[in-house]
Amino acid sequence: MNTVHKISSETLDISTIHDIVFQQKNIELSSETIQKISKCRAYLDAKMDQHEDPIYGINTGFGSLCNVKISKDKLTQLQENLVMSHACGVGDLVSKEVVKLMLFLKIQSLSYGHSGVQLETVERLIYFYNNDILPIVYTQGSLGASGDLAPLAHLALPLIGKGEVYYKDEICNTESVLKELKLNPIKLQSKEGLALLNGTQFMSAYGIHLLLKSYKLSYMADLISSISLDAFDGRIEPFNELVHLVRPHNGQLKTAERIREFLDGSELISQEKTEVQDPYSFRCIPQVHGATKDTLTFVKKTFLTEINSVTDNPNVFVDEDKIISGGNFHGQPLALALDYLKIAIAELGNISERRIYQLISGLRGLPAFLVDNPGLNSGFMIPQYTAASIVSANKQLATPASIDSIVSSNGQEDHVSMGANAATQAYTLIYNVERVLAIELFNASQAIHFRAPKQSSSLINSFVNSYRETVPFIKEDEIFNEKIKTSIHFIEDFSIEKELLFD
């Protein structure tokens, strides 16, 4: 197994990112990338020596101060002042997984040779990445338009020996960490602070992290709903391929195919049925789960385009001899994609909660609340309350953030995407859905016990038996909190081949 990923101009795809993240690969620059970074920096240095004209962000102030020219002897101070003054993040700490992706994606964006950074700066970011020296970044502070300014300022502070980092799993002062490692702070050159702060790597890192998690939850939703369907004594006919070929949405076709595969060989699904139809939460699994899959396809396309792009400003075009101030840092494409992702994944939770409700309702021969002696035992009554509470919270989180905007920088930045808010909302929402699916698994594994001696498919039996090793059958009331948490951990730890996730 190759344990190193080379940063290059080769297009990053979802499979490659999956391997980098889950195989915990180190990264290094390719020779082609080193040449691009060095060539761009040399061009910018030459341009600064030859011209006195103001060039935005290189020898001027920032934002609404863009017309204030800065003298050459103040350019390093200008860039360091920019990083320090923009480190205004507040709120919760961004998870280590997301911060590490931010580092990776910032390195990738700077590697294309249109940002004018020093090679030394990029190599220090790589050193941080490979050695798990992860900057402390906060969830609040970005408007998602001039790049993710505040979060990326916190990401950049350790380069100049300031701020805090995770080091050896502890939060440490950066200055002391650099001294221990015998590293000097980077002396930022013209434009470098702006190149580090402009960009969409906060939104993008959240998006990639959540995309990988969403693909897994999509698969788990199909698998868990198959257990629920069998436990509810549901019908297989709605999953017949003929039904879906006459309405051939890709996600719908894929979901129906998966459910058929999961239930292949089940005694329960093939037994004679007394009910003519199932409720929508069972019968329409392909249509609902499938629509989410189609949304994931759109979101994946958006984020893969973004992370294979240059998103700082201004952009340096060496061969064309141009430095152009544009707006590639604006997060509108990501804000819309994140809002769409929120809505789509929330629906996996909504329909899951309805299946939970059906399973505890005392229907189709199942005991009320899935426990013997209901009345004396409340059984699985309250886990459904918990799921209902979560899906209602998700309805609030799923309200689009991208429809909002607010004026900043004295009117210079007069439309913003709010994509960073969409990102943090999506994070909470998607982890919420994982909890709802864990509760459905808790209920479905309990319900299917009451169908013995008839059995489900060998695949589902194997999965449920594995689950039973950590969450046993519930005979009478006990504290369910720990069972639900264990169920969540079971889903988190469950390994799925990437070929099954992204096919």
Cα–Cα distance measured from residue 495 to residue 503, given in angstroms and rounded to the nearest whole number: 16
54-58, 62-66, 183-187, 458-462: segment of lowest average pLDDT: 62-66
CB 191 within 8 A of CB 120: no
Q: Which part of the chain is CATH 1.10.275.10?
A: 4-199
CB 269 within 8 A of CB 460: no
8-53 pLDDT, tens digit per residue, is 999 999 999 999 999 999 999 999 999 999 999 999 999 888 877 7
Residues recorded for the chain: 503
Q: Name the pTM for this structure.
A: 0.96
Which has the higher per-residue pLDDT, 259 or 57?
259
Averaged pLDDT of the chain: 95
Residue 1 has pLDDT above 70, yes or no: no
C-beta neighbour count of 207 within 10 angstroms: 32
pLDDT interval class at 193 (50, 70, 90): very high
pLDDT interval class at 65 (50, 70, 90): low
Looking at the domain that runs over 206-502, which CATH code has it been given?
Answer: 1.20.200.10
374-413 pLDDT, tens digit per residue, is 788 899 999 999 999 999 999 999 999 999 988 888 777 8
Cα–Cα distance measured from residue 482 to residue 477, given in angstroms and rounded to the nearest whole number: 13
One CATH from 1.10.275.10, 3.40.47.10, 3.50.50.60, 2.60.40.10 for 4-199? 1.10.275.10
CA distances from residue 459 to 72, 452, 455, 472, 497 in whole angstroms, order as listed: 68, 16, 11, 19, 15
pLDDT interval class at 456 (50, 70, 90): very high
**For 221-235, what is the mean pLDDT?**
98
215-219, 255-259, 406-410, 439-443: segment of lowest average pLDDT: 406-410
Which has the higher per-residue pLDDT, 366 or 58?
366
**For 267-278, what is the mean pLDDT?**
96
Cα–Cα distance measured from residue 233 to residue 119, given in angstroms and rounded to the nearest whole number: 63
- Tracing tokens 């799921």 back to the chain, one arrives at 387
What does the pLDDT read at residue 248? 98
**For 90-106, what is the mean pLDDT?**
98
What does the pLDDT read at residue 412? 79
Which residues, at least 6 apart from 326, have a Cβ–Cβ distance to it below 8 Å?
313, 314, 315
C-beta neighbour count of 97 within 10 angstroms: 14
43-47, 269-273, 317-321: segment of lowest average pLDDT: 43-47
Active site annotation includes 56: yes
Per residue in 148-169, is it b (16+ CB within 10 Å) or e — as a string?
Answer: bbbbbbbbbbbbbbbbbbbbee
69-78 pLDDT, tens digit per residue, is 777 778 888 8
**For 467-493, what is the mean pLDDT?**
96
3-state percent helix, strand, coil for the chain, nearest multiple of 5: 60, 10, 35
What does the pLDDT read at residue 66? 64
337-346 pLDDT, tens digit per residue, is 999 999 999 9
Q: Which part of the chain is CATH 1.20.200.10?
A: 206-502
